[in-house]
Amino acid sequence: MLRIGIDVGGTFTDLVAINTASGEQTVLKCASTPRAPEQGVLDAIDRLFAGFADLPEIEYLAHSTTIATNALLGQMHLELPRVVFVTTEGFRDVIEIGRQNRSEVYNLFVTRPAPLAARENRIGVRERMDYHGNVLTPLETPEIERVVAAVRERNPDAIAVGLLHSYSNDAHERALGDALGAALPDIPITLSSAIDPEYREYERFSTAVVNAALLPIVQRYIDKLASSLQRRGVQAPLFVMQSNGGMAAAAHIAQRPAAIIESGPASGVIGAADLARRANIARVLSFDMGGTTAKAGTIVDGAVQVATEFEAAGSTHSGRSVKGSGYPVRFPFVDLAEISAGGGTIAWIDEAGSLRVGPLSAGADPGPACYGISDKATVTDANVVLGRLNREALVGGTFPIDAQRSRDAIAALASHIGLSIEETAAGIVRIVDAQMARVLRIVTVERGLDPREFSMVAFGGNGPLHGCALAQELGITRIIVPRHPGVFSAHGLLAAGLRANFVQPVLRDAAGTTAEELQAIFERLEREGRRSLREQGASDEQIAFTREYDARYRGQSFELDVAHDGDPGAIAARFHEKHEQRYGYAAREEAVELVNARLTAVARVAAAPPAGVQTPQRESGAGTRTVWIDGAWRDTPVYQRAALRHGSQIAGPALIEQYDTCTYVPAEWTARSEHDMLIVERSNA
């Protein structure tokens, strides 16, 4: 009986399989296949099965994917579907006009991303609701027939329907959806009131259109993957990681693909939260450095920090999302800062003759120079030259590398800036470390959190290699390296439970709202949440709910999330406290407005037992390798993590190698082996 998690990254597809009886763990890394992302998943399954004499029984299969993001970014080598957008007459240009924010403030010729529904494919319909849900202009049968005919003429691949104020009364949207579904039964339809029942029409319309554009692509991907798995004898239901850090059945995701746009990055943070619970650590900073990107998130008092809106396919600057550069999507997502800084990030010389790193990446193909194809220097090549990475092979000796090719690539850069090869390699590492330190500050300092109060969980194929340098920069004194950090995001898939989010607008002052009214709202949302999770296989005993509000001072443009309290006055007091924590002040004399009621429904799937750890009877001695440290070559101990006994202490500088990563322990740091984790701490902290 196996529980399997498979995470598709930009460079590698990672697999973790845990035997539910013994806790024995199998980990695999396969090259990702960007042009056919499902193939990397199937390759990993095939390699796993090759290690068994008989086909194992799969109890649970969890998967995270970047297919939705890649499709919106145009990285799937196919055209996006033709989306027809039906909206209230006079409002068909809302998704193109957007908000007044500009992604480049001083660029007079800045262009917004092309609308996912072309103007000729946007159809106005004569109807109107007011913001209370009262009908101002009824939707007549002849008008419905006209709209259906106009949609059919445009031969759509997907349809989105977004009417004004449908969050308050969705009767007209449902009528149009029923008519379109009857006339075009094979075309997927997204109703904005079903996918995002909140006010602010631009964001709601955008979310509906994005979901519609992704529907055909994600449905084909899930169908192809599920059928290929069944042909291999895998009968277990397929679950997919959502942006919110929870799992959902693949059939459910096939109808709500906008919920998985940030699927890939979320699973690592969930794994970090699970590790923090087991280590009894309240505040943890999740740091994931893979082959193409570095990501950071926070866990505060055991809770993963979640935001409610993001811009899909947008650009970032120094780890911050650039407003106005993407497509707004209102789905909860794990609050992450991300930067193009991974092992495959390319170093180059700019026009001023300065050394730069990123944002372009060599990815899985052609990969770093040491992979034997490219001649461009990357962060991985710098670590090979410095001796931090094995100069002969990676991935437990199964992935040969060409160290001389790394030296040659970096030598080409060194000749331009007048430094030695080693000094240039060290400069590449320092530059990428400085860039990654910024994203760690974004999710801590810029959120009103002190990073010195946090421990860091460093994972990804390169996280443990760079973790100590970043921790030292932020004043963090303890790093936790999971047992298999290079496949930790795949492990996080097995720690996540089912999750679904529901929202209902409130739009009234807290002082004018009764506890009974709020209770009625949440009871309705809980019925909906219980039904959704039951459909995905959860039992009532497994389901739990969390109640929250979006609140603001009257007149503010944006909200803060506040935990539920039955007393509206207590909700207002809690909002004042959170506003002061985030912004440094609270206007306690101002009225507090409740904008939305939010419900999170979770169901803990049967957790796999902790992975069994084999403790060696006799600890092996360390080898050595010359490593460039502080401007000179030093003979440095190299330990094999699998050979470390529980409680082993290692003083830096040292390297601890394993199948999926290498942990660099600098001077003034010590490492201690603890069952399924490695604790690295500042010696003089």
Judge whether residue 444 has pLDDT over 90.
yes
**Residues 221-228: contacts with CB under 8 Å, at least 24 apart:** 221/37, 221/38, 221/65, 221/67, 222/250, 222/251, 222/253, 222/254, 223/254, 224/38, 225/38, 225/41, 225/42, 225/63, 225/250, 226/250, 228/38, 228/42
Q: Is residue 614 part of a domain?
A: no
CA pair distance 443, 568, nearest whole angstrom: 30
| Of 155-159, 237-241, 302-306, minimum mean pLDDT range | 302-306
Domain boundary among 228, 260, 292: 260
Q: Where are the beta strands (DSSP E) in 430-542?
A: 455-459, 478-482, 498-509
* Per-residue confidence band for 685, with pLDDT thresholds at 50, 70 and 90: low
Two structure tokens written together for 614 = 């084999």
Q: Tell me, what's the pLDDT at 76?
A: 58
d(CA 666, CA 261): 37
- When pLDDT is averaged across residues 566-581 and rounded to a whole number, the result is 89
DSSP, res 233: T
Residue 676: which pLDDT band, with cuts at 50, 70 and 90?
confident
What separation, in Å, do the N-terminal and C-terminal C-alpha atoms of the chain show?
Answer: 45
Within this chain, do residues 581 and 640 fall inside the same structural domain, yes or no? Answer: no
* Domain identity same for 360 and 412: yes
Q: Is residue 111 part of a domain?
A: yes
The answer to whether residue 446 sits within a structural domain is no
- Report yes or no on 340 lying in a domain: no
Q: Are residues 97 and 165 in the same domain?
A: yes
Domain that includes residue 107, residue range: 83-212
pLDDT (0 to 100) of residue 520: 95
What is the number of residues in the chain?
Answer: 685
Q: What is the CATH number of the domain that holds 11?
A: 3.30.420.40
The lowest-confidence range among 1-15, 124-138, 216-230, 449-463 is 1-15
| Rounded Cα gap, residues 674 and 681, in angstroms | 13
If one counts the domains in the chain, the total is 5
State the Cα–Cα distance between residues 480 and 23, nearest whole angstrom. Answer: 21
Confidence of residue 320 (pLDDT cuts 50, 70, 90): confident
- pLDDT over 90 at 10, yes or no: no
Rounded Cα gap, residues 273 and 496, in angstroms: 10
Question: End of a domain among 603, 634, 660?
Answer: 603
- Domain contains 365: yes
Tell me whether the omega of the peptide bond preceding residue 505 falls within 30 degrees of 0, making it cis.
Answer: no
Joined together, the tokens standing for residue 481 give 């390296």
Q: Report DSSP state, residue 81.
A: P
Least confidently predicted of 106-115, 143-152, 488-497: 106-115
Q: Are residues 360 and 239 in the same domain?
A: no
CATH code of the domain covering residue 595: 3.30.1490
Rounded to whole angstroms, how far apart are CA atoms 74 and 65?
Answer: 16
Whether 175 and 129 map to the same domain: the answer is yes
Same domain, 57 and 172: no
The answer on pLDDT for 611 being more than 60 is: no
Beta carbons of 451 and 476 less than 8 angstroms apart: yes
**What percent of the chain shows pLDDT beyond 90?**
75
pLDDT recorded at residue 606 = 60
Q: Which residues of 556-571 are buried (b: 16+ CB within 10 A; e: fewer)?
A: eeebbbbebbeebeeb
- Asked whether the predicted pLDDT for residue 621 surpasses 70, the reply is no
Using the predicted structure, report yes or no on whether residue 123 has a pLDDT greater than 70.
yes
Domain identity same for 504 and 597? yes
Final residue belonging to a domain, choices 173, 189, 212: 212
> What's the pLDDT band for 608 if we cut at 50, 70, 90?
low
Tell me the mean pLDDT in the region 227-234: 94
Residue 624: pLDDT over 70? yes
Q: Alpha-carbon distance 492 to 362, whole Å?
A: 26
Query: Would you state the pLDDT for residue 105?
Result: 81
pLDDT band for position 96 (50/70/90)? very high
For 356-403, how does the pLDDT look when each residue is reduced to its tens digit (9 = 90+)? 999 999 977 789 999 999 999 999 999 999 999 999 988 778 889 999
pLDDT at 31 over 90: no
Pair (671, 590) in one structural domain? no
Q: What's the whole-model pTM score?
A: 0.91
Any domain includes 466: no
Answer with the residue of higher pLDDT: 156 or 513: 156
Query: Do 103 and 196 have their domain in common?
Result: yes
* Inside any domain, residue 533: yes
Residue 221 has pLDDT above 70, yes or no: yes
Same domain, 573 and 597: yes
**In a domain? residue 467:** no
Over residues 242-275, the pLDDT tens digits come to 999 999 999 999 999 999 998 988 999 999 999 9
Residue 75 pLDDT > 70: no
Q: What is the pLDDT of residue 103?
A: 81
36-45, 426-435, 602-611: range with lowest mean pLDDT = 602-611
Looking at the fold, whether 20 and 119 belong to one and the same domain comes out as: no
**Are 143 and 177 in the same domain?**
yes
Q: Give the gyration radius of the chain's Cα atoms.
A: 26
pLDDT score for 609: 53
Distances (CA, A) of 101 to 196, 264, 472, 476: 22, 28, 36, 36
pLDDT for the residue 567: 82
What mean pLDDT value characterizes the chain?
92
